[in-house]
């Protein structure tokens, strides 16, 4: 059975009734709700769902339609960059399906959103139809306000839907491997420190491979906000250690960190093994992992 994950981001993190309505709308039959994360300063909500492709795509279409009715970007203000009410919809292969097949699904979803909801749709990551649109920050450059005055230009023409923009903005749809959204908080209200650290660690500025980063002020505390695009290239613990090192250089410390959405188990186990200096540590060295392996082994045994 094919299973995909999706982590749509919505430009609403303050109105509890709207957030709950989005959560309800995405849960079409067969869609598993895995996580909901909202932030008032970013004014953003991230919902994680999984299931069979047809079910997940139906849930994503329904929630995109609702977001277009309930979120007005002319009134929206928040720390996080955005171009749409439903700002981005990534499709992630989990099991029984390839990334290329998720690209096909992304095109189908984008085409439907454009045709039936009348929203401009941009394709990104593995689904990008143009090389300059592979990176999400490149599509978001200028944000909603910039898109208002540039969507008519050939280089800003959407991949699906009309080349016109209203209160719901545009939607970015794509296919990608697992991504980890990860924030580290500093013990200072000086957002310039977070911005400086973000610039030093992000790949586009010559920093860590497969790391995107920006600095924000969240509830009076400087935050280094990151997307880790490939933890095989740059593991989570490497990012944490580097932010701590750079923060100490500026005379500040780290108070805590947070995940937005979910992270693969192996990423967390790798971080634990790193800090505990466990050599050759595997998931089957946990009680839960050993039980899962034993259950699988038992299932494969021929009946007696």
d(CA 255, CA 243): 12
**First-to-final CA distance of the chain:** 28
Burial class (CB in 10 A: 0-12, 13-18, 19+), 190: middle
With contact defined as beta carbons under 8 Å apart, do 172 and 83 qualify? yes
* CA 225 to the chain's CA centroid: 12
> Residue holding tokens 């919809």?
89
107 is catalytic: no
Q: Rounded to whole angstroms, how far apart are CA atoms 274 and 38?
A: 30
- The catalytic position among 80, 237, 248, 298 is 80
Question: Which residues make beta-bridge pairs with 90?
Answer: 174
Residues marked as catalytic: 80
């Amino acid at each position: 059975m094919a299973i995909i994950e999706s982590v749509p981001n919505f430009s609403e993190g303050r109105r509890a009734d709207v957030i709950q309505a989005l959560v309800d709308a995405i849960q079409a039959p067969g869609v598993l709700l895995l996580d909901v994360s909202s932030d008032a300063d970013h004014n953003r909500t991230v919902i994680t769902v999984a299931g069979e492709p047809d079910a997940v795509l139906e849930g994503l279409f329904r929630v995109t339609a609702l977001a277009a009715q309930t979120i007005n970007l002319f009134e929206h203000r928040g720390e996080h960059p955005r171009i749409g009410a439903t700002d981005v919809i990534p499709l992630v292969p989990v099991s029984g399906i390839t990334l290329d097949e998720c690209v096909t699904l992304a095109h189908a979803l984008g085409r439907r959103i454009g045709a039936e909801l009348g929203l401009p749709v941009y394709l990104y990551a593995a689904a990008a139809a143009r090389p300059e649109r592979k990176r999400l920050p490149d599509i978001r450059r200028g944000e909603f306000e910039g898109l208002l005055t540039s969507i008519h230009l050939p280089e800003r023409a959407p991949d699906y839907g009309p080349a016109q923009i209203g209160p719901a903005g545009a939607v970015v749809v794509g296919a990608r491997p697992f991504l980890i959204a990860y924030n580290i908080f500093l013990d200072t209200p000086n957002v310039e420190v977070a911005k400086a650290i973000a610039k030093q660690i992000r790949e586009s500025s010559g920093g860590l491979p497969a790391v995107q980063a920006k600095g924000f002020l969240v509830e009076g505390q400087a935050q280094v906000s990151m997307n880790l695009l490939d933890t095989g290239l740059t593991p989570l613990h490497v990012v944490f250690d580097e932010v701590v090192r750079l923060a100490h250089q500026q005379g500040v410390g780290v108070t805590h960190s947070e995940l937005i959405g979910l992270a693969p188990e192996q990423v967390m186990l790798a971080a634990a093994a790193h800090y505990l200096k466990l050599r050759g540590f595997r998931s089957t060295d946990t009680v839960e992992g050993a039980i899962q392996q034993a259950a699988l082994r038992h299932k494969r045994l021929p009946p007696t």
